Amino acid sequence: MPTEALDNLLHNKEGDYLDCTFGTGGHSRRILENIGISGSLKAIDKDPKVQKFANQILDKRFEFKNISFSDLENSFPSESFDGMLIDLGISSFQLDDHSRGFSFKSESILDMRMNQTQGLTAFEWLNSANEKEIADAFYYLGEERKSRALAKQIVEKRKKRKISLTSDLTNLKFPYSRSKKHPATNIFRAIRMFINNEIEELISVLKSSLSLLKKGGKLVVISFHSIEDRIVKNFLRGRLENVSLESYMKSEGKLIKPTEEEVFNNPRSRSAILRVGKKL
Ligand SMILES: C[S@@+](CC[C@H](N)C(=O)[O-])C[C@H]1O[C@@H](n2cnc3c(N)ncnc32)[C@H](O)[C@@H]1O
């Protein structure tokens, strides 16, 4: 997937680029390797813990800011970039950090904030939200068919003891058995998306791309599930609410899926969907 993402993004080797999801900097490093000496790369990430990876990149063409998608328009002048890259979701660095509660594979406190210095933690929300709010998040953000039954169990459970650990969720009684994925996959995703305002943030970065990209600039988005992809697809087709059609972006080509080899080398890429737009 990185190869297609970069081939689409870097249409002008001496251009100015923005990596909206720095993570541990894998994509940023590849961009720097592939642009010329007068090109530049800005990168952002809302997680302050990734600053240490950004500090390792000693390249005059590179600059990192610890901000969110929704801060972009206040942080960069309009028409700053020839290309913007968005690689949605969480990084393996966040998933593997056992103090954060993103993974159902290890026991940890249910924090789930991408920026641990602000906002409500997952455990605060799960102990205070009403049953309907939890069920709706599970249904709409996690596409969880048994959303109501699972939300009910959480509310019953917390009457006896606060929900605070990943095992409080993995030990729920899931009223079905799935062969491939862990039964808690959907609700973990739903809680993470809710806690980090992921839908609002995605809409915000897509809209910002309209002002931040130069004419002819490319938007490259990698998403990992149908909820995100639907928003990106609708945006590129000019069907996202409150976005004017004239200032629009054209969708370029069809969506691109990873090759078998890429999935073998990087199992996370299995559900990746790449879409490309061009600012008109
Ligand atoms: C899938 S990872 C990116 C991995 C990266 N491409 C790499 O090569 O390491 C997504 C990153 O985006 C960040 N992120 C997610 N939502 C964000 C937002 N609304 N604003 C800024 N950064 C965000 C996360 O903190 C995470 O580090």
Q: 261: part of which helix (H) or strand (E)?
A: helix 260-265
Number of domains within the chain:
2
Higher-scoring residue by pLDDT: 248, 45 = 45
Distance 50 CA to ligand 1 centre (A): 9
Q: Where residue 60 sits, what CATH number does that domain have?
A: 3.40.50.150
Other CB atoms within a 10 A radius of the CB of residue 253 amount to 10
**What CA–CA distances, in Å, run from 66 to 12, 55, 72, 118, 214?**
26, 12, 11, 13, 23
The backbone region for 242, taken as left when phi is positive above 0, alpha when psi lies in -120 to 50, beta otherwise, is left
Do 142 and 204 belong to one domain? no
Judge whether 175 lies within some domain. Answer: yes
Do 124 and 78 belong to one domain? no
Do 63 and 119 belong to one domain? no
CB of residue 45 inside a 6 A radius of ligand 1: yes
**Which one of 20, 45, 69, 271 would you pick to mutate in the ligand 1 pocket, going by the greatest count of ligand atoms within 8 A of its CB?**
45
Per DSSP, the three-state class of 63 is: strand
Do 183 and 214 belong to one domain? no
Judge whether 40 lies within some domain. Answer: yes
Do 125 and 190 belong to one domain? yes
**Which one of 1, 62, 114 would you pick to mutate in the ligand 1 pocket, going by the greatest count of ligand atoms within 8 A of its CB?**
114
* Position 247 confidence tier, pLDDT thresholds 50, 70, 90: very low
**Mean pLDDT computed over 56-75:** 98
142 pLDDT more than 50: yes
Closest atom, ligand 1, to C-alpha of 93? 27
Do 13 and 82 belong to one domain? yes
Do 157 and 221 belong to one domain? no
Judge whether 229 lies within some domain. Answer: yes
CB of residue 87 inside a 6 A radius of ligand 1: yes
* Position 3 confidence tier, pLDDT thresholds 50, 70, 90: confident
CB of residue 192 inside a 6 A radius of ligand 1: no
Distance 32 CA to ligand 1 centre (A): 18
Judge whether 81 lies within some domain. Answer: yes
Q: What is the mean pLDDT of the chain?
A: 91
Judge whether 102 lies within some domain. Answer: no
Can you read off the two tokens belonging to residue 170? Answer: 């993995």
List the residue whose alpha carbon is closest to atom 3 of ligand 1. Answer: 23
Do 213 and 87 belong to one domain? yes
Do 147 and 67 belong to one domain? no
Judge whether 149 lies within some domain. Answer: yes
Q: 221: part of which helix (H) or strand (E)?
A: strand 213-223
Do 52 and 178 belong to one domain? no
* Position 177 confidence tier, pLDDT thresholds 50, 70, 90: low
Domain boundary among 143, 171, 195: 195
Q: What percent of the chain has pLDDT over 70?
A: 88
| Tens-digit pLDDT profile for residues 117-132 | 999 999 999 999 999 9
Q: What percent of the chain has pLDDT over 90?
A: 78
**Mean pLDDT computed over 9-15:** 96
98 pLDDT more than 90: no
20 pLDDT more than 80: yes
CB of residue 25 inside a 6 A radius of ligand 1: yes
Which of 83-87, 156-160, 237-241 bottoms out in mean pLDDT, i.e. has the lowest? 237-241
Do 210 and 241 belong to one domain? yes
pLDDT score at 193:
98
**Mean pLDDT computed over 50-74:** 98
Q: Tell me the backbone φ, ψ of residue 71, rounded to 5 degrees.
A: -95, -5
Judge whether 61 lies within some domain. Answer: yes
Higher-scoring residue by pLDDT: 3, 121 = 121
Distance 120 CA to ligand 1 centre (A): 19
**Which one of 46, 85, 111, 201 would you pick to mutate in the ligand 1 pocket, going by the greatest count of ligand atoms within 8 A of its CB?**
46
The answer to whether the CB of 147 falls within 8 A of the CB of 139 is: yes
Do 154 and 138 belong to one domain? yes
Judge whether 106 lies within some domain. Answer: no
| Tens-digit pLDDT profile for residues 195-208 | 999 999 999 999 99
CB of residue 47 inside a 6 A radius of ligand 1: yes
Q: Where residue 123 sits, what CATH number does that domain have?
A: 1.10.150.170
* Position 100 confidence tier, pLDDT thresholds 50, 70, 90: very high
Domain boundary among 151, 175, 195: 195
Write 225-228 long-range contacts (CB < 8 A, 24+). Answer: 225/143, 225/189, 225/271, 226/143, 227/140, 227/141, 227/143, 227/193, 227/199, 228/88, 228/198, 228/202
Q: Tell me the backbone φ, ψ of residue 219, rounded to 5 degrees.
A: -115, 125
* Position 179 confidence tier, pLDDT thresholds 50, 70, 90: low
**Mean pLDDT computed over 187-198:** 97
pLDDT score at 137:
98
Cα–Cα distance, 259 to 269 (Å, whole number): 9
pLDDT score at 248:
53
**Mean pLDDT computed over 247-271:** 64
**Beta strands 62-65 and 40-44: pairing type?**
parallel
192 burial class (0-12, 13-18, 19+ CB within 10 angstroms)? buried
Domain boundary among 138, 161, 195: 195
244 pLDDT more than 60: no
Range of the domain at 266: 2-92+200-279
**Mean pLDDT computed over 138-156:** 96
